[in-house]
Every structure is written in C-alpha cells, then in structure tokens.
Structure 1
Amino acid sequence: MRGHLFSIAALLLTACAGTMESTEPTPDRLAGTQWQLVDIQYMDDTVLKPDAAGKYALRFDNNGSVSIKADCNMLGGSYTYTSPSGLEFGPLRSTMAFCGEKSLYSRFTKDMPFVRSFVIKDGNLHLALMADGGIYQFSPLP
C-alpha cells in the first residue's frame, strides 16, 4: 500500500515541478468533470472507504465552482486550477446534517482546505493533501 501512495505522490510532485512558462492560458483539466470517492489513503497506512458508492462525489463546473456531496451533506464553493496540476479549494459552505458515526463527512470538511494538487492516472482522479498528508482517490461518474 505504501509503495502505491509513494508512486502517486511522486507523480504529483513531478507534475508540479519545473514547467516552462507559457503566454497562452491553459484549459482547466477538471472543468465539467464529475467523480465519486473510491478511498482515502493517509501516509500512516490508514485507508478509509465509503460504505456505499456515490455517497461522496465531486463536480467541477465550467465556471470555477465545485459541488461536493459528502454523505448526507452538500458542500459548495470555488476552486482554483493552476497548470499543470495545482488545485486549491476556496471556502466551502456546507449543510450541517448529522450523517451518522461512520460518515466520512468530517474528513471531507477537514481535508479539502489542504488539497494542493491532483493527478489523473489510469482514469482516476487523485487529490493530494499538503505535506504528504494523504491522497483522495476518485473514479469518474458517468
């Protein structure tokens, strides 16, 4: 498991390192995409998985806004894409329903402000938390 995390982390670092400046705007690679959570992998080898498909999802709109389904709650706000693989979420507003003891909602609200980069590998989206905190893995939603 740890080897897989390190390879994803290495990909993210490589993607963020040393790119040439371009005068043309780079299209937002995430705009118009939707993803559902596969798992959360923390660097202490903790792996958390949703208890049902589709309970946790991201939708990146074409106008720089993001909608997040986190169990029984919805979060919304803005995101900033920086070429080639930088990603940061702005302040996220959220509904505040109690989703149950095993919900991953509190993880989402705690971790999303610390997302700094992403990579799309083998068709899946991997969001990296700052300081090698962990990786959120998502698969595409139809």
Structure 2
Amino acid sequence: MKIFLWGSAISLACTLAACQHSANAPEPSEASFLGLSGTVWRLVEVKSMDDALGSIRPDNAEKYTLTFNADGTIAARLDCNRGVGPWRNEIVEPSGGSLEIGPLAVTRALCPPPSIGEALAGQLGDVRAFIIEDGRMHMALAANGGILVWEPVAPQQ
C-alpha cells in the first residue's frame, strides 16, 4: 500500500510538472485551502533523487517551518530569513494532492553555516504535489528534483 501511494505521489508530481501555471488563472476558491489550511510544519529532511547526494537533514528543524494560512498565504521560516507568498492545493485523495507554493518574497540575510535556507526557498517553488503518510508530509518536487519531508508542529496552547 505504501509503495502504491508513494508511486502515486511521484506520478502525480511528474504529471503536474508538465503543467504551467497561467498568469490568467482564476483565484483559488476557499475549498482549495481545506487540506493544509491552518497547519504548521517543520522540515525533517530533503531527499535527493540522486543516490550520490543522499538526504540532507537540517541542523535544527525549528529554523525551517511552513505555516499554511486559511487566506491562501504561506509564511516560511528559512533559517534566519522569512518568506511569504501564495499557496494552493487540490485534494486528490484524503492524504494528498497537488500543491503550488509561491512565488515567495524572501528576505536576504546571510545566515551562518550550515544553512539550507536559500536552497530550500528555491525548492519550494518547485513543489508540485504532496502526500501525508505516517503523520509526515512529503512534497514532491518537479522533474524528479527530490522530496521535502515535513512533520507537523503542535499548536501552542
């Protein structure tokens, strides 16, 4: 079952990668935001599709978070920088679907190493699909560019 769902996510990402976002596209409806709206996620790892590169794990997951707002905006913490922009998704099945992020407006501070914030900001614009499996969100990047793995951040009481 997991292999089938994961394969479906990759297939969906590849299909969606061929699509271009139109500047004349209609504004997304409120229903477009129901899947991820109001959720906050922190980065667990960046998985490369190239075995030679492997996976990258952030030095501190709290430095890399995404907040999906109900109004269709996303707030990103990218190490010492912040980003904001639009997001939208369409639920294909209960655990996933298409996902578009950006373009993001990002601050440009020079973060101390080892920072993956700048690279992550670029990768977020390449997200095409997501699937939630075992409580984690896996974002598929266009053109087999890799997988961004996120875990939910518990709401503060």
Same fold (TM over 0.5): yes
C-alpha change, 1:72 and 1:8, in structure 2 (3 Å) is: farther
Q: Which amino acid aligns with 2:40?
A: Q
Does the CA-based 8 Å contact 1:9-1:128 persist in structure 2?
Answer: no
Show CA shifts across 1:83-136 (max 9, x none). 320001121001111112320012112211110000000010111101111000
Q: Give the TM-score normalised by structure 2.
A: 0.75
Does the CA-based 8 Å contact 1:9-1:132 persist in structure 2?
Answer: no
Q: Which amino acid aligns with 1:125?
A: M
Residue matched to 1:40: 46
Residue matched to 2:128: 116
Residue matched to 1:107: 119
Q: SS in structure 1 opposite 2:36?
A: coil
> Which stretch shifts more, 61-70 or 97-106?
97-106
Tell me which of 48, 55, 70 is aligned to 1:62: 70
Residue matched to 2:57: 49
- Report the Cα distance in structure 2 between the residues aligned to 1:102 and 1:8, rounded to whole angstroms: 33
C-alpha change, 1:72 and 1:81, in structure 2 (3 Å) is: same
1:130 and 2:142 matched: yes
Q: Which amino acid aligns with 1:80?
A: R
Residue matched to 2:87: 79
Show CA shifts across 1:25-47 (max 9, x none). 56621001010000000101221
The alignment's C-alpha RMSD in Å is: 2.2
| Unpaired stretches in structure 2, ≥5 consecutive residues | 16-30
Residue matched to 2:9: 12
- Report the Cα distance in structure 1 between the residues aligned to 2:56 and 2:5, rounded to whole angstroms: 17
Residue matched to 1:20: none
The structure whose residues are more often strand, as a share, is 1
Residue matched to 2:19: none
